[in-house]
Amino acid sequence: MAPSSLDVVLKGSSGRNTRGLLRVIILCTIAAAAVSSRLFSVIRFESIIHEFDPWFNFRATKYLVENGFYSFWDWFDDRTWHPLGRVTGGTLYPGLMVTSGVIYHILRLLTIPVDIRNICVLLAPGFSGLTALAMYLLTSEMSDSPSAGLLAAAFMGITPGYISRSVAGSYDNEAIAIFLLVFTFYLWIKAVKNGSIMWGALTALFYGYMVSAWGGYVFITNLIPLHVFVLLCMGRYSTRVYISYTTWYALGTLGSMQIPFVGFLPIRNSDHMSALGVFGLIQLVAFAEFIRGYLPGKQFQKLLTSMVLLTFGLGFGGLVLLSVSGVIAPWSGRFYSLWDTGYAKIHIPIIASVSEHQPTAWPAFFFDLNFLIWLFPAGVFMCFQKLKDEHVFVVIYSVLASYFAGVMVRLMLTLTPIVCVAAALALSCILDNFLVASTPSTETKAKATTEDKSLRSARNPVVGIYSWFSKSVVVASVTLYLLMFVAHCTWVTSNAYSSPSVVLASKLPDGSQFIIDDYREAYYWLRQNTPDNAKIMSWWDYGYQIGGMADRPTLVDNNTWNNTHIATVGKAMSSREEVSYPILRQHDVDYVLVVFGGLLGYSGDDLNKFLWMVRIAEGIWPDEVKERDFFTARGEYRVDEEATPAMKNSLMYKMSYHNYQSLFPAGQAMDRVRGTRLPKESPQLNTLEEAFTSENWIVRLYKVKDLDNLGRDHSNAVAFDKGLKRKRATKRKGPRVLRTE
Amino acid sequence: MKLWAGLFLLLSFVSGVLSASSTQDKFATYQSLSRSGPVDLDSASYEDLTSTPRDYYAAVILTATDPRFGCLLCRDFESEWDLIARSWTKGPKPDELKVVFGTLDFDNGKAVFQKLMLQTAPVILVFPPTIGPFAKVEGNPLRFDFTGPISADQVYSWIGRHLPEGPKPELVRPINYMRIVSVTTILMAVVTATTVLSPYLLPIVQNRNLWAAVSLIAILLFTSGQMFNHIRKVPYVAGDGKGGISYFAGGFQNQFGMETQIVAAIYAVLSFATIALALKVPRMEDVKGQQLAVLIWATVLFATYSFLLSVFKTKNGGYPFYLPPF
């Protein structure tokens, strides 16, 4: 009796259990796939922290593990931003470090000896598994379909849009923040559905965790009030909404204020004002709803409505007045530049200079989301079918996040979760209809009552699919798309997102891999050959890496909190030596580090970033540094014989090309990044001397000379030295003459 | 000896007075010419204005406002320059600090443009005084090049930096009463219209299909890179160098305006096919019709996706995946 034995497993309560077990297994498999697809870089290279920001997080985590939580909280770091220092404990989001610290201590408690570095490297893949789980929960709240949640979890697990920020080794705030984002939204939806204080409080709890982990929490701070506001505008006020919102706002705001870096921002900053405003509005609406029950007359009702509107208007005006008068800080620059897209370029060049703040071209969307990008609008459309409170949330989130992702590349990260939700809704709807084994009988044509409000395309009742042929066609093509999606994701992850960028890989002509390890070579040289407190000046991109790998104090780093200090470095780099040398002396600089890709053709080098240094310096010293001077009369940015005098005399140019010509036969020196032939003579450096150049010339280190012993200026001293040598040489060559007098 | 010195002093005094009086006149004439805005110059008056000796600052913009030259920057900045000159002449300032603002259009001053070998416009030159209390040793003009659209505030602060220390008039933008009035009127009109038309508007506002359409269009626009076009100001289409039009820009980081519209249309077709398969087809009661609809929509989906992949392959050369037809 094979069928009946199967029936035992598939039907009734044991059937439910079987399905539950299957579900758990599938989710575990998805989590495993999510983790393993992020390990390319560890397998290919080694267990290493990637890029720039993660190096700071890693350094801070090490500090936390070594010195304990309280000294981490009060950490003043005198090894960055020399000579200012940085109140690191008060100016970072501690969530990430504390999370890995807690994991470290738990593992130690279980007597599992594991290096803190490995925890940091593997934290992001680990949390991506949790994100897939949270995604399952969130999507299951949106749909009755049993498959939607699983599909969404699978999408979230492997979509490149999320992998780009969570491969092993990219130990950045986003590593845990996306999990928190998705989970907070899940709790919020749960709270709105049930109207329970418990879910609201849980939302606030995870919101607080999110605040401690990532600056992107502002997205939640504005999205939830917007959701509530739209619900109110749709006339969908209910006690459920009231309870969940007030609980979330009160507890969440208190929670977020516990983070020193956030402090009083929630009540003093425009970014947070929408949450406060909606909090006020919902009180008014609740009050009006309450009174309405006791007021008989229609006039009273009208009076009440106008009272509510008036109070809201007054409150709104008050907020505007407070922001204009400066009590409430205006929008923070980064956030504001999302709305006024030209703002950053004019006023905050340091924000505009970061490549991940650039707008997104369409291929990037397809690259990161593949076929989800066209399932996405379909899924949003399906949300309009029922349009319950949670569907309103999906719609708002979709529109807003796609705008943000279009303006800034890095915000693709916030778009990805909702794309997965919507795409899963759409695809599960197709699969549920086309994967039903039974064929509907043609006779039963039960006319359901058509709802006037619903979408036009969904007014008739669902009949089902008749023929096996249509079922197999659709299922086969969908399977094909899904398989291609997996292949695409693997290809993208392996090719685009798994490079540590500290170690570069290239292919030799014979196909073998060639590892370029110049950065670490130079940082370890610094570590071993310079005194412990030798100050290193470099452009801010490399600050965190120098701090993390070389363990030496830096002038500026990737925490770009002091624009003037960065501009000072920019000025030193872009000025003549006579101007730069006093700046270097005043800042106790011992070594200067530049990145030069001319020999290898590495395009991310300092000369390509040079214009940003000039621009940022010009913002502070418009009379001394001028961008125009670095372009030729025809408006070209050149480094060859026809480069402008300002360019040729700048410290950056000299440091990049110092002695470079000696690598080539006379007059043959080539810059492979900019593809130009260089001048015959290599530039003359007077105030610096070359200390170290890495194997492929990517990193070059210069030591700042001390003041001359005889009180000459450096150019004279160098000229004298040169002249002396020449004289000696002629003397030696000359015939010896006996004194015959 | 004393006599010589005295004579010399006297002579220099006389010459100083003479020259001062002549430049004084020059300043007075240009100031009267200007009334409150900048002086319109031609080649001759430009030479006269900038000739030494002068006891005043001369700030001259060399521009080409005629539509023939297609200098958008020049025309945009014309009103801003006017604003600067007006703010200066009207505002309170120390008496001895004299500044003349002038405009030299290319039509009136071809000779000057040739002499200065100017390739681009607009350019602002500021000539410091050669005599008087603020005289500079070297009388060379300071030059301000335009690198992009620039507001009056930036130019004004640049000029202000090169003037001697001391109080200077603020840059005052005139209050645009017209705009205030029009905004208030429009606002009131909107409020009135909504109250009067609310019975007719409400069904439209509450129409779910409308909102669905609006959200979908917004999403399609944003995900097809419309914001990139807006921020980077990309061209709509470009020639392919052989007389034809190339619809798709080469490279992963580039795109054309038309390209994004094509992509948005592709996405729209794909989404619509998905919606049809998911929502419409299962609701069809006719067996044959349903079969046909499934076939059509599945084919459309497949072909369009294949086309999308081929387009993406042209943008990203190393991309290994494709679907048969394209």
* B181–chain A Cβ distance below 8 A for any pair: no
| Cis amide linkage into residue A440, ω under 30° from 0 | no
Report the pLDDT averaged over residues B307-325. 88
Query: Closest chain B residue to A451 measured between Cα atoms?
Result: B208
- CB atoms A628 and B268 under 8 Å: no
Single-letter code of the amino acid located at B309? L
Q: Which residues pair with A514 in a beta bridge?
A: A506
The verdict on domain A517-722 having CATH code 3.40.50.12610 is: yes
- CB atoms B219 and A359 under 8 Å: no
Q: Which residues pair with A677 in a beta bridge?
A: A670
Identify the pLDDT of residue A739.
Answer: 58
Q: How far is A449 from chain B (nearest CA, A)?
A: 14
Q: Is the pLDDT of residue B20 over 60?
A: no
Query: Closest chain B residue to A364 measured between Cα atoms?
Result: B252
Query: Closest chain B residue to A488 measured between Cα atoms?
Result: B321
Query: Closest chain A residue to B157 measured between Cα atoms?
Result: A622
Q: Is the pLDDT of residue B139 over 90?
A: no
A544: tokens are: 């965190």
Question: Could you give the C-alpha distances from B124 to A99, B74, B145, in angstroms and in order?
Answer: 58, 11, 7
Report the pLDDT averaged over residues A15-27. 90
Q: Is the pLDDT of residue A146 over 80?
A: yes
Q: Which residues of B touch A384 (CB under 8 A)?
A: 208-209, 211-212, 215
Query: Closest chain B residue to A403 measured between Cα atoms?
Result: B222
Identify the pLDDT of residue B202.
Answer: 81
Highest mean pLDDT among A54-58, A510-514, B35-39: A54-58
Phi, psi of B123 (to 5 degrees): -135, 140
Q: How far is B67 from chain A (nearest CA, A)?
A: 23
Question: Could you give the C-alpha distances from A340 to A269, A344, A347, B227, in angstroms and in order?
Answer: 18, 8, 11, 12
Q: What distance separates the 2 farthest-apart alpha carbons in chain B? A: 125
Identify the pLDDT of residue A569.
Answer: 92
> A108-112, A672-676, A720-724, B279-283: lowest mean pLDDT where?
A720-724
Q: Using an 8 Å Cβ cutoff, are B20 and B88 in contact?
A: no
* B285–chain A Cβ distance below 8 A for any pair: yes
Identify the pLDDT of residue A3.
Answer: 53
Confidence class for position B15, pLDDT limits 50, 70, 90: very low
pLDDT in tens, A677-708: 888 888 888 888 899 999 889 999 999 988 88
**Among 3.40.30.10, 2.40.50.140, 3.40.50.10300, 2.60.120.10, what is the CATH number of B24-160?**
3.40.30.10
Q: How far is A399 from chain B (nearest CA, A)?
A: 6
- CB atoms A403 and B222 under 8 Å: yes
Single-letter code of the amino acid located at A619? G
Distance between CA atoms of B260 and B257, rounded to whole angstroms? Answer: 5
Q: Is the pLDDT of residue A652 over 80?
A: yes
DSSP string, B60-96: EEEE--SGGGT-HHHHHHHHHHHHHHHHHHHS---TT
Distance between CA atoms of B38 and A472, rounded to whole angstroms? Answer: 78
Identify the pLDDT of residue A450.
Answer: 46
Phi, psi of A720 (to 5 degrees): -65, -45
DSSP class of residue A263 equals: T
Domain ranges of chain A: 8-366, 517-722
Identify the pLDDT of residue A489.
Answer: 93
| Closest CA relative to residue A401, chosen from A424, A380, A375, A427 | A380
- CB atoms A426 and B147 under 8 Å: no
Q: Which residues contact A468 (CB under 8 A, 6 or more apart)?
A: A439
Distance between CA atoms of B131 and B99, rounded to whole angstroms? Answer: 14
> A126-130, A460-464, A523-527, A596-600: lowest mean pLDDT where?
A460-464
Q: Are strands B142-145 and B39-41 parallel, antiparallel or unpaired?
A: unpaired
A707: tokens are: 């003041």
Q: Is the pLDDT of residue A354 over 60?
A: yes
Mutation test of the interface with chain A: which of B159, B207, B255, B279, choosing the one with the most A Cβ atoms within 10 A?
B279
* B270–chain A Cβ distance below 8 A for any pair: yes
A97: tokens are: 């470090």
Report the pLDDT averaged over residues A594-598. 89
- CB atoms A371 and B216 under 8 Å: no
Q: Using an 8 Å Cβ cutoff, are A570 and A626 in contact?
A: no
Highest mean pLDDT among A424-433, A556-565, B200-209: A424-433
Distance between CA atoms of A11 and A505, rounded to whole angstroms? Answer: 55
Q: Which helix (H) or strand (E) covers residue A250, if one does?
A: helix A239-256
Identify the pLDDT of residue B18.
Answer: 45
Q: Is the pLDDT of residue A553 over 80?
A: yes
**Dihedral, A198, A203, A209, A215 alpha carbons, nearest 10:** -160
pLDDT in tens, A626-640: 888 888 888 788 888
Q: Which residue has the higher pLDDT, A304 or A137?
A: A137
pLDDT in tens, A91-141: 889 999 999 999 999 999 999 989 999 999 999 999 999 999 999 999 999
Identify the pLDDT of residue A522.
Answer: 92
Cα-Cα-Cα-Cα dihedral sign, residues A431, A437, A442, A443: negative
Identify the pLDDT of residue A737.
Answer: 57
How many Å separate Cα A719 from the centre of its chain? 49
Residue A22, helix vs strand vs coil: helix
Identify the pLDDT of residue A344.
Answer: 66
The 3-state secondary structure of A175-240 reads HHHHHHHHHHHHHHHHHHHHCCHHHHHHHHHHHHHHHHHCCCHHHHHHHHHHHHHHHHHCCCCCHH
DSSP class of residue A77 equals: B
Q: Which residues of B touch A385 (CB under 8 A)?
A: 279
Q: How far is B164 from chain A (nearest CA, A)?
A: 15
Report the pLDDT averaged over residues A645-671. 87
Q: Which residues contact B151 (CB under 8 A, 6 or more apart)?
A: B80
pTM: 0.81
Identify the pLDDT of residue A282.
Answer: 92
DSSP string, B207-224: -HHHHHHHHHHHHHHHHT
Length of chain A: 741
- CB atoms B290 and A470 under 8 Å: yes
Q: Is the pLDDT of residue B236 over 80?
A: yes
> A301-315, B14-28, B107-121, B288-302: lowest mean pLDDT where?
B14-28
Distance between CA atoms of A52 and A459, rounded to whole angstroms? Answer: 54
Q: Which residues of A touch B270 (CB under 8 A)?
A: 374
A627: tokens are: 């961008």
Identify the pLDDT of residue A735.
Answer: 56
pLDDT in tens, A375-397: 999 999 999 988 889 999 999 99
* B254–chain A Cβ distance below 8 A for any pair: yes
- CB atoms A406 and B285 under 8 Å: no
Q: Is the pLDDT of residue A211 over 90?
A: yes
Distance between CA atoms of A368 and A492, rounded to whole angstroms? Answer: 8
Identify the pLDDT of residue B208.
Answer: 86
Q: Is the pLDDT of residue B5 over 70?
A: no
Please identify which residue in the block is written with the tokens 């943008």. Answer: B315
Domain ranges of chain B: 24-160, 206-313
Distance between CA atoms of A408 and B227, rounded to whole angstroms? Answer: 9
Residue A592, helix vs strand vs coil: strand
How confident is the prediction for chain B on average, in pLDDT? 81
Sheet order of strands, B123-127 included: B39-41, B99-105, B57-63, B123-127, B142-145
Angle at A570 between CA A568 and CA A571, to 5 degrees: 65
Q: What is the ipTM of this complex?
A: 0.84
- CB atoms B232 and A385 under 8 Å: no
Identify the pLDDT of residue A325.
Answer: 73
Q: Is the pLDDT of residue A22 over 70?
A: yes
> A190-204, A343-357, B36-50, B256-270: lowest mean pLDDT where?
A343-357
Q: Using an 8 Å Cβ cutoff, are A493 and A40 in contact?
A: yes
- CB atoms A426 and B274 under 8 Å: yes
- CB atoms A384 and B283 under 8 Å: no
**To the nearest whole percent, how much of chain A has pLDDT over 90?**
43
Mutation test of the interface with chain A: which of B145, B198, B215, choosing the one with the most A Cβ atoms within 10 A?
B215
Q: Which residues of B touch A470 (CB under 8 A)?
A: 281, 290-291, 294-295, 298
How many Å separate Cα A456 from the centre of its chain? 40
Q: Which residues of B, range 214-253, sit inside 8 Å of A by Cβ?
A: 215-216, 218-220, 222-228, 230-232, 252-253
